[in-house]
Every structure is written in C-alpha cells, then in structure tokens.
Structure 1
Amino acid sequence: MKLPVLAAAILALTFSTTALGRDTKHLLPLEDAMNTPDAQQKLDGSIKFYFADEAHPQITQKIPGVTTNRKTNAFMKSDEEACSWVFLSAMIALQERAQQEGADAVVNITSYYDRQEMASRDDYECHAGAVLAGVALKGDIVKFAD
C-alpha cells in the first residue's frame, strides 16, 4: 500500500520540478503594456520614454547604461498578465531613477534579459515561468537641451 503512494509522490515531484523550471521567452507589444490603465496612472508623464533608436530631442547630459531587473509572482496568472505587470514595475524603476537624477527622459531603452540586449521600438522581452516572470531593461537617463 505504501509503494503506490511513494511512486505517486515521486511522479508528482518529477513533474513539479519540470514545471517550476519553465522559462518561456515572450516578445510582447510595448504599446499594449504602455497603454494599460495601471501604466497610464503610474507613469505620470514627468519622464518621457524612448525605445531603441526612437528619435528624441538633443541631449545635454547623460547617464548611460542604467539597468533594472524586476521579477514578479506569476503564480495563477497568465504569462501575458505577469509580463505586463513586471514590465510596468521595470518602467516605474526607470522613471524613479530619472526623477532622482533630475532628468527629462530615458532614451535608448532596450530589453536586457540575462544581459542580452534586444532593441525594439515595438516589443519588449519577458521570461515567464510557473512561479516568476521577469523583465530587465537598460536605458540612458538624459536631460534635453532647453
């Protein structure tokens, strides 16, 4: 009687370890993530954001290569929901850093997951697993010429 219970437990552990090890890469639309009600509320407009090689005003001061690496609980959430939430967390971190520096914007924003840069004007990279989702971003904090 104990042998079937032990076998079931081993089987369950095997499958749960596999599930916990999931790391699904997603490329998701920036526009969707930036236009959520939460993003509209929490990204207050005091800092402008420019992704990849988007044109921007002339820069007078720059702090290059600022990174943020955020994770969020993905348990019981769709990958897209968890990714949208953690993307916003990463953007808030960039906004707060730019505000601390007295900057106008963050330019050249790229995905920077696992220190691999992915530049896009349209998409950001998110990795989702059974328990966590993560987004890493890199950008230059700048002041524009008046």
Structure 2
Amino acid sequence: MEGFEYGNDGPSLILAAVDGSVTSLRAGAYAAGLARRQRSELVVITVTTTPALSAMAADAVTVLTQSAQELGQELQQWAKQEMHRLELQARFVLVHGDPYLEIVRCADELRADAVVVGASTKAGHRLVGSLAGRLVKAGKWPVTVVP
C-alpha cells in the first residue's frame, strides 16, 4: 500500500488545515495527537483568503490581503508554540488562495496519507457544501472532519 510502511498501520504524513476557527483548532489538536500516536509526520496548512466583496475596491484588496497574511502568520506562530510545548515536530505551510484548491494541491504535492479539517459551522454550507464535504468527495485521501 503506497504511503504506508511495513509494520506501521497508520498514516506516514498527516495534513491538518487550521484557519483559526474553533473547529479547525480542534482538528489541529486531533491531528497532533494522531501524529504522536502513529509516529506520523505532521504538516499544518493555513490558507489565507481575501473576501469576494473586496474586489469592489482595489485598495481594499491590498489591505485585506495584507491583514489576512498577518493573521495567518500569527496563527502559524501560535501553532508552532503549541507544537513546541507538546514536544512535537511539524512542518508549517502558509499560502493564500482558495482553501479547497490549496489544501488539495498541498496534500497531493506532499503525498499526504490523511487530511484533517474542522467541520464548518456555517448554516449555508448545508445547502452549498462545505470545504470538508468537498474534500471527502474528492476521494483522494481519508479525510477526518472534527466537529
């Protein structure tokens, strides 16, 4: 089975998506525990985005993109401190773009064996579909959705 080592029944690389929401922080904690128990490599990805409404004003795009980047850096710094506190090693990826596309790209590039994300708390996602739902439907890797 590709990606799994002989004598190891778990994933060798886990990709955890963390965006600062409560459910994504739970997902990060779950992924860290899983990585520790399975002796897996852990990669934490944060995808910053610019709200669609910002396209109406060119200056707003710049300001919002910079703000999103700063928040993403702060979140990743916090995550690094948590990993250090837990005595765990992790790689950190910070990108800007569409969360679904960037998580898929990163998981494919890293040949992730598992993806861990937080469940969406937005009511509209029941109708349109959430990030987690889209990742599950992609069917490329096992996806754990943490409530």
TM-score (norm 2): 0.25
Greater Cα radius of gyration, structure 1 or 2: 1
Q: Which has the higher helix share?
A: 2
* Higher RCO (CA-CA < 8 Å; seq separation 6+): 1
Q: Which has the higher strand share?
A: 1
